[in-house]
Amino acid sequence: MNLDHLNHSTKDAFVAALGDIFEHSPWIAEAAFAKRPFASLAALHAAMLGAVHDASVERQIDLIKAHPDLAGKAARAGALTADSTTEQGSAGLDRLSEAAFAAFHRLNDAYRGRFGFPFVICARRHGKESILRQFEQRLGNDHEEEVEAALVEIADITALRLDQRVEAPERLAVHGRLSTHVLDTQAGQPAAGVAIELYELDGDAARLVTRAVTNADGRTDRPLIAGRPVPIARYELRFQVAAYFAGRGVELADPPFLDVVPLRFAVAEPEGHYHVPLLVTPWSYSTYRGS
């Protein structure tokens, strides 16, 4: 589906295409239809947000209520919309321990008890730890602040949904990026063939996000994360340094002083560019946030 097509479609087709961008709330697509044509995805999204803005507070709260609990009964029963399923899964909420489920359950209850609607957050911008921190911080808001906060999250959620759904010359969402490269400062050249793993940390546990191997330029062929927000979370990059140097014929201590080098860092800006390189010899290394 592309923007041009939407600009020329009937109302029924338009609402059929975009009615679920806002969770269970096709009235927003209906209202936006009147503002056609849209010069850009951003204009389309603005029109939809305008409909929300112009609605009564009651209707805004109904919009919030249309969202499911995080890691709630509907999620466990497999009764979420496709988008919500993907979004909650991106933050790892589909594979919680029982203890973590219980923690979400308690927070969901406390939140609903306080505000009368479910906790809404743009899950694709967060890791699990970050969602829990947000949950606790927002429990301290008053009612009006929290309605505002939920609508901001809905704007983020729907921007990402629209961006994935509709082709357009310019993307709507500003995406983040996480990348690395490895420089062999012993040889003064890019380190090619270094195996790399990226983990997202959660307490003491580590969930593998992706694997890659450096190319002739010491970089990975694709960024480790790109084309989506980089979830606010703690990460660990692990570089197979001893295997690389051994492969080059460098004599190493036994066991080698450096073997798997871990770089542990956190992302605070999901739309930021995080370049986390490794400069390494068999006896030293350094890293920094580059761009």
Site for a copy of itself contains 266 (CB under 8 A): yes
Using CB under 8 A, pick the residue from 186, 195, 207, 210 that binds a copy of itself: 186
Site for a copy of itself contains 262 (CB under 8 A): yes
DSSP 218-242: SB-SS-SEEEE---BEEEEEEEEHH
Which contacts qualify for 57-65: CB closer than 8 Å, 24 or more apart? 57/147, 60/147, 60/151, 61/116, 61/117, 61/147, 62/25, 63/22, 63/23, 63/25, 63/28, 63/151, 63/154, 64/117, 64/118, 64/120, 64/147, 64/150, 64/151, 64/154, 65/117, 65/118
Q: Which stretch binds a copy of itself (CB under 8 A): 58-66, 118-126, 181-189, 222-230?
A: 181-189
Q: Which stretch binds a copy of itself (CB under 8 A): 15-23, 150-158, 163-171, 258-266?
A: 258-266
| Minimum distance, C-beta of residue 275 to a copy of itself, in the bound complex (Å) | 10
Site for a copy of itself contains 189 (CB under 8 A): yes
| Minimum distance, C-beta of residue 283 to a copy of itself, in the bound complex (Å) | 3
| Minimum distance, C-beta of residue 21 to a copy of itself, in the bound complex (Å) | 30
| Minimum distance, C-beta of residue 279 to a copy of itself, in the bound complex (Å) | 6
Q: Nearer Cβ to a copy of itself, position 113 or 255?
A: 255
The 3-state DSSP class for residue 277 equals coil
Site for a copy of itself contains 229 (CB under 8 A): no
Q: What is the maximal distance between C-alpha atoms in the chain? A: 72
Beta-ladder partners of 179: 275
Strand extents, DSSP E, 11-113: none
How far, in Å, CA of 208 to CA of 196, rounded?
11
Site for a copy of itself contains 255 (CB under 8 A): yes
Site for a copy of itself contains 261 (CB under 8 A): yes
| Minimum distance, C-beta of residue 246 to a copy of itself, in the bound complex (Å) | 14
| Minimum distance, C-beta of residue 147 to a copy of itself, in the bound complex (Å) | 23
Query: Which residue carries 């919009």 as its tokens?
Result: 63
Site for a copy of itself contains 271 (CB under 8 A): no
Site for a copy of itself contains 25 (CB under 8 A): no
Beta-ladder partners of 274: 178
- The Cα-based distances of 156 to 129, 136, 162 in angstroms read 19, 20, 10
Site for a copy of itself contains 217 (CB under 8 A): yes
Determine phi and psi for 202, rounding to 5 degrees.
-145, 100
- Which residues bind to a copy of itself, rule: CB under 8 A? 130, 183, 185-190, 217-218, 232, 234, 253-262, 264-266, 268-269, 279, 281-291
